[in-house]
Amino acid sequence: MNLKHINVLITGASRGTGAAIAEKCAEYGARVVLHYNSNHAEAKAVAASIGDNCVGLLPEDLSQAGAGARLWTKAVEIAGPINALVNNAGIDLVTDPYGDDTQWADGWAKIMAVNLQAPADLCRAALVDYRKAGGGRIVNMCSRASIRGDSIDHPAYAASKGALLALSKTIARGAAADGVLAYALAPGWINTEMAPTDPDVLRAAKAEIPLGDFAQVDEIGTLVAFFLSDLCPSATGATFDVNGASHVR
C-alpha cells in the first residue's frame, strides 16, 4: 500500500489502537498529525517512533465544547491541508440506569461529548474542506456495541457509538458526490489497556469469541491504512466487523 498522498489527523493517538494506527499509516508513507488528551510523554514517544512522518502533536480535551473544531483548525495550521481523518478517541464510563442520578447524568454528558459531538464536529470541519479540495477520507472507530448493544450498565457508550455509526453512513451517502469516502470499524475487544484484566472477566470475554482471542492493535492499524489507500473506494459506507466472529451479521 502507498499512503504518500495522505495527510491524516488521528485522534487518541498517544497509545493503544490510536498509536498503532498512526505507526501503520506512517509505515506506508502517510504524514500524520497525532492528537492526545493529556499524556504528552506517551504522545511524544509515539511521535519519536514515527520520525519525520509525524508532522504535528496536538493536545485537546475532546470533552470540552468546541474541541473538535479547534483541533481541526490547529491541525491544518501546522500540517497544511488534511485529506484524511481518523476518529479513534473514545471513552467508556459506567452509566447504570439503576445507579445514582449524578453518575447517570455526568456519564452520559461526557461520553456523548467525547464519542459523538467531537467526532461529529471534526467530520463537519473535514467535509467543508473536502468539498473545496475535491475529496477526502474519514474513518470512524465505532464498536460491536454500535450494532448489538452493550451491557445494561453501559448504555451511553453503546448509544454514542451507534450514533457515530449512523453518522458515518450518512456521510458516505451524502458526501460521495464531493469525493468523500467514509468507513466505520466496529471492533469487539481489542488487546489494549482498556481490555478486562480480572481473570474471571477476561475468561468470560474470550469465551464468547470463536477465534479465541481479542483483536490486536496492528490488525486495526493495517485495516485503517487500507481504507486510506484508496484501493477499494467502493467500500465507502461499509461497516467492518473486527471481533473474532463474536458477532456476525
- Give the CA dihedral 118, 123, 126, 132, nearest 10 degrees: -140
DSSP for 75-127 reads: HHHHHS---EEEE---------TTS-HHHHHHHHHHHHIIIIIHHHHHHHHHH
| More confident: 166 or 214 | 166
CA-atom Rg of the chain in angstroms: 17
DSSP for 141-164 reads: E--THHHH---TT-HHHHHHHHHH
pTM: 0.95
**Contact (CB, 8 A) for 50 and 26:** yes
pLDDT value for 206:
86
What average pLDDT does this structure show over 5-19?
97
pLDDT tens-digit map of 102-160 = 999 999 999 999 999 999 999 999 999 999 999 999 999 999 999 999 999 999 999 99
Residues with Cβ within 8 Å of 52's Cβ and at least 6 positions away in sequence, in order, are none
Half-sphere exposure of 238 (CA within 13 A, CB side): 12
pLDDT tens-digit map of 54-80 = 999 999 999 999 999 999 999 999 999
pLDDT value for 215:
85
Of 8-12, 28-32, 55-59, 189-193, the one with minimum mean pLDDT is 189-193
With cell 473486527, the residue in question is 242
Starting at the earlier edge strand, list the strands of the sheet with 239-242.
54-59, 31-36, 7-10, 84-87, 136-141, 180-187, 239-242
Q: Cell numbers of 228, please?
A: 486510506
The answer on pLDDT for 198 being more than 80 is no
How many Å apart are CA 8 and CA 28, to the nearest integer?
Answer: 12
* Backbone CA torsion sign across 228, 230, 234, 235: negative
With cell 475487544, the residue in question is 189
Q: Is 157 a catalytic residue?
A: yes
The answer on pLDDT for 201 being more than 90 is no
pLDDT tens-digit map of 157-186 = 999 999 999 999 999 999 999 999 999 999
pLDDT band of 191, cuts 50, 70, 90: confident
The answer on pLDDT for 207 being more than 90 is no
Domains of the chain: 7-239 (3.40.50.720)
pLDDT band of 210, cuts 50, 70, 90: confident
DSSP state of 190: B
pLDDT value for 211:
87
Per cent of the chain over pLDDT 90 is 87
Q: Which of 28, 36, 130, 157 is catalytic?
A: 157
